[in-house]
Amino acid sequence: MSFASPLIVDGLQYSRWSEEIFRQMNEGGVAAVHVTICYHENFRETVANISAWNRRFEDHGDLIFHGRTADDVRRAHTEGRTAIFFGLQNCSPIEDDIGLVEVLHTLGIRFMQLSYNNQSLLATGCYEADDPGITRMGRQVIAEMNRVGLVVDMSHSAERSTLEAIDLSARPIAITHANPAAWHPALRNKSDAVLKALAARGGMLGFSLYPHHLRGKSDCTLAEFCEMVARTADLMGVEHIGIGSDLCQDQPDSVVEWMRNGRWSRARDYGEGSAAQAGFPPQPAWFRDNRDHRGIAHGLKAVGFDDADVARIMGGNWVDFFERSFGPQ
């Protein structure tokens, strides 16, 4: 695969989906996107979100289709379409029923975070003051996720819980959208200890382009971002890294309240921004939408990656991870 047309996979987006965005994916050569279909929804509400996606696949079949396997990514790249992979940013859809893990996988879910910022039935989120680690139910759910082929995602989880999940999981896990805390100490960014453990067990890190996770936030430059990627490749190995942009394109600011607050709080939790920064921050000028992925590829080349490694980071590593992760064990 040439550097001029790398297979591109984005490890996480939560945009306000539209034909315009799907066309931008195609124009940008994005072969696959892991999309969030749950923040705080229960099982029935998540099924309703899947139903809404089925209508999108019907209405825009020339642009997108439901991805379930690594082969679907390759097919999308060949056909000039985008394979959409479903993921959950919280464990709320399984409620307190471990049997729903397999049901959700059958419905096409391929990633599930064990917690979203707060303590869950399974693990501790990164905003909690105390982190007791993976719970009794969490251990059972990880084993069930391993069995059916549902990827453990610890992007919003706290340090001890993340390290324990890496150790407990019989299959490699993912941190689909975060950056090294040593580069920018946001609550959601990950320590070198986590990144080293993740790589040692064959896991994947998707680099986030969400401004709160970037050094300099919206003013972070492409060169600074790509230099951080290069340093992380030295730490983890180039085969364990990819892009997980966390792009929230065209979302109204009211969506931040749902992401942060859900139904668990009567107060307003603004997370890593202050009350004055409660809305979505502006994206860096070099990454506004899916047409800008190729610019990242050129930036990686500029900081010293060769064509083969650029192709791995832009999507090849995710495809290899999908190949190993989505089938039953």
| Segment 151-170, tens digit of pLDDT | 999 999 999 999 999 999 99
List Cβ neighbours of 282 (8 Å cut-off, separation of 6 or more). 211, 218
In this prediction, residues 178-207 reach a mean pLDDT of: 98
What's the pTM?
Answer: 0.95
Contacts of 202 (CB under 8 A, 6+ apart): 172, 240, 324
Beta-carbon contacts of 137 under 8 Å, excluding residues fewer than 6 positions away, are 96, 98, 121, 122
pLDDT class for 260, splitting at 50, 70, 90? confident
pLDDT exceeds cutoff 70 at 71:
yes
Query: What is the set of domains in the chain, with CATH numbers?
Result: 8-325 (3.20.20.140)
Task: Report the range of poorest mean pLDDT among 25-29, 170-174, 247-251, 302-306.
Answer: 247-251
**How many Cβ atoms from other residues are within 10 Å of residue 301's Cβ?**
15
pLDDT at site 274? 44
pLDDT, averaged across the chain: 94
How many whole angstroms separate alpha carbon 310 and alpha carbon 52?
35
Residue 299 CB neighbour total at 10 angstroms: 21
Q: List C-alpha distances in Å: 274 to 50, 109, 185, 252, 270.
A: 33, 33, 16, 17, 6
Q: Specify the 3-state DSSP secondary structure of 47.
A: helix
pLDDT score for 4: 59
123 vs 256, higher pLDDT: 123
